[in-house]
Structure formats: structure tokens, C-alpha cells
Amino acid sequence: MARTQTFDGAITLRILLGTAVGAAAGVALLLWVVPGAGTDYRPAVLSTVLVPLGCFAGWLLSGSRERAATAAVVCFGLYFLSAFAAARLGTLIASFSYFPTVLGVQSLAAAGLALGLGFLGRGLPQVERLRDSRDVAGLAGLLHAGDWRERLEATRALATIGDSQARSPLLVALDDTEPRVRREALAGLAGLAKPEDRPRLDALRDNPDRRTRRLAREVLRWIEE
């Protein structure tokens, strides 16, 4: 199976668009709150939150969720890093202006983030092809032959498809040795599980992993409803 990841321009363009929207909204907010000079720190701090929010919104709209948690941390880290950099520059540059400096630092960092996530944002190409073609059998095969990441992405893809045919391989994934695979399988079974699956789910209510226990209870409640 090919493990190489190719550059995805759609992710990069959406994050860049989110950056531009966030920057424009920040400028508009600052000019609205402080017409003219725009020297007040408070609206500047508030408005610069919008650039990281724009980046993350662009990520969410990119169609890939593989590194959503990482993207969230990095996007919001943009704000704290740029605010620190601006405060530091303020001690070195007499003519320092907070908002333009923060906005410039954030925009450059966001451009780098957009490029980086363009390369890293997608999952395994073969899994995505199987998901897009709704090849349940092909994804089920990866649950037996793949490494932990292939099994994880295959399980996530099966859950995304939401087809009734995905129920059986998702039940197989409940026995996986990787906790993340089991959690994805449980999330996918919400809406697909049947009453006869209760014994399998009941067994997971005593699983050492807290999130696995919680998800198992949620699926059981869904069956009962």
C-alpha cells in the first residue's frame, strides 16, 4: 500500500482564505472600535484572535479531519506566539505598533501553516480512495492486513460512509488492539448497531479505557431508543 502523502492544494487555499477573512475582520473590528489611530490595545488583542479562528475555520472546511486537534493547537498557538513576539518587539522598537506587528506575524505563520497542512493534512491516499468509492470490502480488508494507522483510517472511513454494510467490519474493529481504532468503531456504530450487538457492546462497558466505556454506553443507549 502506498504510504506517501501528496500535497493537497485545497487545504492550503482554504486555510489561506480563512487567514485573509480573519485578518480583514480584525482590521474592520479595530477600525470600528477605534476609528482613526487604532492605538488601543484591547480591541487590537480581541481582533487578532480572528486570524487563528479564520485559519481553523478554513481547516474545518478543507474536507480533512485527520489532524484537526493538531490544527486547533497550532492555530490558537498563533495568537499567543504573535502576542508574545509583539510585546517583545515593543521593548525594542520605539515606533512599535501592536496590531500591525501581530497581524504580520500571524499572517506569515498562517501561510506556513497552510503549506505544511497541505502536505500533512490528508490521510493515506489509498484509504481515501476506498472511502470516496464507498468500497466497504476494501476498507474491511485493511482491518485485517494493515498497520495500526491503516486500521485507524479505515475504521474512520467506514464510520464516515455510514452504510449498513459497514456494520460488520466496524464490529470486527471492536476487537482491535489499538484503543483509537476501537473508539472510532464505536463512534461509527452509533446509528448502525442492532439489538443483537448488545453483548459485544456490554463487554466494552468494563474496558480499561474511559472513552471506550463512554462510547459503548452511548451506542447502547442509541439501540434502546
In this structure, is residue 1 part of a structural domain?
no
* CA–CA separation, 74 and 186 (whole Å): 28
**Does one domain contain both 54 and 97?**
yes
**Does one domain contain both 133 and 74?**
no
In this structure, is residue 4 part of a structural domain?
no
* CA–CA separation, 32 and 37 (whole Å): 11
Last residue of a domain, one of 66, 85, 120: 120
pLDDT value, residue 30? 78
**Does one domain contain both 42 and 138?**
no
Cβ count near 187 (within 10 Å): 17
Cβ count near 28 (within 10 Å): 12
pLDDT in tens, 83-109: 676 666 666 666 667 777 777 778 888
Cβ count near 224 (within 10 Å): 8
**Does one domain contain both 40 and 78?**
yes
Q: How many domains does the chain have?
A: 2
Cβ count near 14 (within 10 Å): 24
* CA–CA separation, 24 and 3 (whole Å): 38
- 106 alpha carbon, distance to own chain's centre: 20
**Does one domain contain both 82 and 151?**
no
pLDDT value, residue 170? 92
Task: Tell me the DSSP string of 118-181.
Answer: HHHSS--HHHHHHHHTT-HHHHHHHHHHS-HHHHHHHHHHHHHH--GGGHHHHHHHTT-SSHHH
What's the count of helices (H) and strands (E) in the chain, helices before strands? 12, 0
**Does one domain contain both 101 and 135?**
no
Helix axis angle, 210-224 relative to 179-189, nearest 10°? 20
Domain ranges, residue 98? 9-120
Q: Which amino acid is at 162?
A: G
**Does one domain contain both 214 and 146?**
yes
**Does one domain contain both 111 and 138?**
no
pLDDT value, residue 186? 92
pLDDT value, residue 4? 40
In this structure, is residue 3 part of a structural domain?
no
**Does one domain contain both 180 and 113?**
no
**Does one domain contain both 98 and 46?**
yes
* CA–CA separation, 21 and 31 (whole Å): 15
The parts of the chain modelled with pLDDT lower than 50 are 1-5, 38
**Does one domain contain both 141 and 210?**
yes
